[in-house]
Structure 1
Amino acid sequence: MRLKSLILGAVCAAALPVLGMATPAFAQSLTAITGGRVLTGTSVIENGTVVIQNGRIVSVGTGPAPTGARVIDARGKVVAPGFVAVDSGLGGSEISSVTGSNDLRNGANTISASFDVSYGLDPWSFTLPVARLGGITRAIVVPSHAGGGGGGHAHDDSDFAGVGHGGFQSPGLFAGQAAVIHLGPNLEGGGTDILVRPRVAMVAPFGEAGAGIAGGARGAQFTQFKETLAEVRLYARNKAAYDRAALRDLSLSRADLEALIPVANGTMPLIVTVRRAADILQVLRLAREEGVRIILDGVEEGWLVADQIAAANVPVLLNPISNLPGNLETRAARMQNAAALDAVGVVIAIKGNDGAHRVRETRYNAGNAVSHGLPYDAAIEAITVNPARIFGMAGQFGELRAGAAADVVIWSGDPLEPLSDAETIFIGGAEQAPTSRQFLLRDRYASGGEGAMPPAYTR
């Protein structure tokens, strides 16, 4: 449903405690945001009222604030759902080049598809409050892999392709499993769990990066992929025989075989990083032949085959400002890619410029897509309701509607305008401090206040 103007619509966490949520008691209070231009994610309500309580949205409409509610006057401002970052590394990587702080990359040949990023999440990550200031309240955290993704930290495994120790694939065709997080841990109240749902999708690179993993040629990867799924299905039918060593040797560990069963039977989507138009068509063919659900990621040349992507009913994660022919996979990259895909009915989700440190720029990218032909309402959908739909969580977040999580941001102006600020941020109904470690350090040293200098320097 497109964003329509309804004049009368129906109804981080950083190391310092100040960066956490408000107290749990406050999160339960009745709050009404009144008078603003409300972008619900699928419609617009002028002079709207959003009521939240107990972490959920109670109502969205044009009526007065309920009796006894805390009232926030949003006249002249824009009220929007919290944005959802896709292909993200938030909470999983602090500094990509510092191995010990990067829990998005895994190199074990016996743990590939079974690698679960949710176990490495850090609610104290300095990246979370920075992303929040860009209106991000939820994120899909993805393992990093050859060809990019998972925080945007690409690496090349092509020199190590082949069968590794014990006969297992090394490196594996699969990077691991993605997770959904929220960006509002309550550190003061002891709530540190940012995980919303683990194992929402499997991840695998195709195209040039995938070919490198499989041995150097695209055809080799497709053959290996099909053989891998055949082994998974064989294992699923014969677990008892596997347990008593009465099944032929398989190229994956038991953990990886188990992790891939939902992919093989079509219940877990596979995020496929692919860029070239020809590769996109081959991946669509593979998904059709194997009966797997896929989400295309990257898709710089997607506009060339937009009709085929739409016909396959496959969603796309993309960066709309990726427009340079940096290699032979992106010769036809262009700024109109998002608009072209949307025009034929492809469900798109817009990414930031980096999976962890520049996620806040997601809204800038959406604005750039609008300037190159994407309708404004489609751009809002691409950073709110669409990510929730793509990852099986429609109606739970990314939208201002009764029953959804109270992820609400009050903007000083149009959220796709770079000069607008996120003035008030709620995540799960709890108001967030509008600051970050960077702001705290700036204020500490600019003002020369308490703690600005070590005691020895103040004597």
Structure 2
Amino acid sequence: MKRLLTLSAAVLAFASAPLAAQDIAITGATVATGDGSDPIENATVVVRSGRVVAAGQGVSVPAGVPVLDGSGTWVTPGLFASITNLGLVDVGAVASSNDIRAGDSPYDAALDVAPAINPSAQDFGYSRAGGVTRATVVPDASSGIFAGQGAVVDLGADYDAVTHRRAFQIVEMGERGASLAGGSRTSVHAMVRNALSEAEYYARTGDWDEDGMLSRLDAQALSHVVTGEQKLYVTVHRAADILSVLALREEFPRLDMVLTGATEGWMVADRIAASGVPVITSALTDLPESFERLGATQSNVGRMVDAGVTVAIGGYESSGDHPRNLPQQSGNLVALNRVPGATGLTWGEAFAAITSVPARIAGLEGRAGVLASGAYGDLVVWDGDPLEVSSAPLRVFIDGVEQPLDNHQTRLRERYRTLDESELPPAYRR
């Protein structure tokens, strides 16, 4: 495995310093900027005061900036994980440590995940070690179709994780929404329209309709959705349901929507593209596990991108998958191009789908997921092509601060990798 071996004395000095934004230049690396373009060989990345200054070939290193020799490595922006539960759960089966859902709460849309996010949760460190530097964290709908308000976080090793609270609202539509709304999609749409109408009244008058279905806090929360100040993430899968959701903007034209799921999005990709609504979806869903996913195919992402849809890869809130698997899943879409009859992505498109595109959807265009002037100094140094399953991060920087890569799993590995099995209790012997 390749390693960054050539370090200047200045670099060694800052590596042991307190966490603070560091000036750093990495030279001679293969650089992927995250903007959809192909990787650049023998390139340089410069970060100063926590921000990217420049990235590419022919970039000069300012005097006094510590230099890393990146020969044999890849340098990329940090990965951006969309739709996660990072920091909301320690042990899923232990209710007291699980803040993903609030089934007995009197509130729905008003729920805000930000105060519950724990940056010390094990999945923060595990994701960071996999190259994930920023993410969106979402609640899960349980007592009603509105799940609440999600947040944008960085995965730095400190307690200032939440960078944008109340960044978007989540609503469940389709089969799950129908079950939460009384058993039918007709009820889901009636409830959504009623809720948005009550929220419009609140936004217009500042008053709450006591005879309405929404609580004051829920109406207040949704008032930011109907005015377009807050994005509305709509979970939907069936092609017909996608079109019904897009039609909501005929009644509520200021809705700033994002489709999540969209398993059958390829079937109506031209309509989604025409609407300008972006999509966050899984890269690998290819089984008709429910009636709303009968059209599931791994070509879903590639076909939507070819139609002009803005697509990010994500969705780790309840699948049992993990955000650090983003590169593997994105890489599969590159390999899919070699399968007869399938539609995948180019390398640049696939990498952008886990960096700049999800950042743009989250409202951080030009700031996260890219190596461009003025962007956050989020860098990942890899020992090889990041979309190859055998590659791994060597170093991770967030806002120009180098991050620890140790976590619970690495500590367990080190503890047991050389353990003499004769020391184990009988019950643990093979």
Aligned equivalents of 2:370 and 2:182: distance in 1?
44
What residue is the counterpart of 1:239 in the other structure? 206
Correspondence 1:51 to 2:46: yes
Where does 1:28-427 land on structure 2 (aligned, <5 Å)? 28-42=21-35, 43=37, 44-61=39-56, 62-145=58-141, 171-186=143-158, 192-239=159-206, 242=208, 247-291=209-253, 292-351=255-314, 358-372=322-336, 373-427=344-398
What residue is the counterpart of 1:17 in the other structure? none
- 1:311-356 deviations in whole A, cap 9, x for unaligned? 1101001111010011111111001000000001111110265668
Unaligned runs of 5+ in 2: 1-13, 337-343, 425-430
Deviation at 1:70, TM superposition (A): 1.8
Runs of 4+ in 1 over 6 A off after TM superposition: 21-24
- The alignment partner of 2:374 has SS state of coil
Query: Does the 8 Å CA contact 1:300/1:337 hold for their aligned counterparts?
Result: yes
Correspondence 1:27 to 2:16: no
Query: Does the 8 Å CA contact 1:27/1:53 hold for their aligned counterparts?
Result: no
Aligned equivalents of 2:55 and 2:249: distance in 1?
40
Deviation at 1:173, TM superposition (A): 2.4
- The alignment partner of 2:219 has SS state of helix
Deviation at 1:227, TM superposition (A): 1.3
Structure 1 29/389 Cα, relative in aligned 2: closer, same or farther at 3 Å?
Answer: closer
Residue type matched to 1:328 in 2? F
Deviation at 1:24, TM superposition (A): 6.6
Structure 1 411/352 Cα, relative in aligned 2: closer, same or farther at 3 Å?
Answer: farther
- The alignment partner of 2:30 has SS state of strand
TM-score, with normalisation over the residues of structure 1?
0.82
What residue is the counterpart of 2:428 in the other structure? none
Aligned equivalents of 2:197 and 2:417: distance in 1?
62
Aligned equivalents of 2:331 and 2:95: distance in 1?
34
Deviation at 1:248, TM superposition (A): 4.9
Residue type matched to 2:353 in 1? A
Name the Cα RMSD after superposition. Answer: 2.2
Deviation at 1:67, TM superposition (A): 2.5
Aligned equivalents of 1:40 and 1:207: distance in 2?
37
Aligned equivalents of 1:23 and 1:182: distance in 2?
22
Deviation at 1:200, TM superposition (A): 0.9
Aligned equivalents of 2:144 and 2:405: distance in 1?
41
Structure 1 108/446 Cα, relative in aligned 2: closer, same or farther at 3 Å?
Answer: same
- The alignment partner of 2:293 has SS state of coil
Structure 1 345/328 Cα, relative in aligned 2: closer, same or farther at 3 Å?
Answer: same
Aligned equivalents of 2:16 and 2:223: distance in 1?
42
Deviation at 1:25, TM superposition (A): 4.5
- The alignment partner of 1:227 has SS state of helix
Query: Does the 8 Å CA contact 1:22/1:430 hold for their aligned counterparts?
Result: no
- 1:398-433 deviations in whole A, cap 9, x for unaligned? 111121111100111110100011111111111122
Structure 1 416/23 Cα, relative in aligned 2: closer, same or farther at 3 Å?
Answer: same
Aligned equivalents of 2:15 and 2:94: distance in 1?
32
Query: Does the 8 Å CA contact 1:353/1:361 hold for their aligned counterparts?
Result: no
- The alignment partner of 1:29 has SS state of coil
- 1:243-288 deviations in whole A, cap 9, x for unaligned? xxxx551211111111000111122111111111111111111233
Residue type matched to 2:147 in 1? A
Aligned equivalents of 1:98 and 1:109: distance in 2?
18
Aligned equivalents of 2:315 and 2:258: distance in 1?
17
Structure 1 40/207 Cα, relative in aligned 2: closer, same or farther at 3 Å?
Answer: same
Residue type matched to 1:208 in 2? E
- The alignment partner of 1:28 has SS state of coil
Residue type matched to 2:46 in 1? V
Aligned equivalents of 1:237 and 1:402: distance in 2?
40
Residue type matched to 2:34 in 1? G
- The alignment partner of 1:278 has SS state of helix
Residue type matched to 1:314 in 2? V
Structure 1 226/60 Cα, relative in aligned 2: closer, same or farther at 3 Å?
Answer: same
- The alignment partner of 2:198 has SS state of helix
TM-score, with normalisation over the residues of structure 2?
0.87
Aligned equivalents of 1:441 and 1:248: distance in 2?
55
- The alignment partner of 2:47 has SS state of strand
Aligned equivalents of 1:340 and 1:172: distance in 2?
33
Query: Does the 8 Å CA contact 1:127/1:357 hold for their aligned counterparts?
Result: no
- The alignment partner of 2:102 has SS state of coil
Aligned equivalents of 1:413 and 1:134: distance in 2?
13
Deviation at 1:59, TM superposition (A): 2.1
Report percent identity of matched pairs. 40
Deviation at 1:109, TM superposition (A): 4.6
Work out the number of aligned pairs and report it.
397
Structure 1 413/74 Cα, relative in aligned 2: closer, same or farther at 3 Å?
Answer: same
- 1:116-135 deviations in whole A, cap 9, x for unaligned? 00110111111112111221
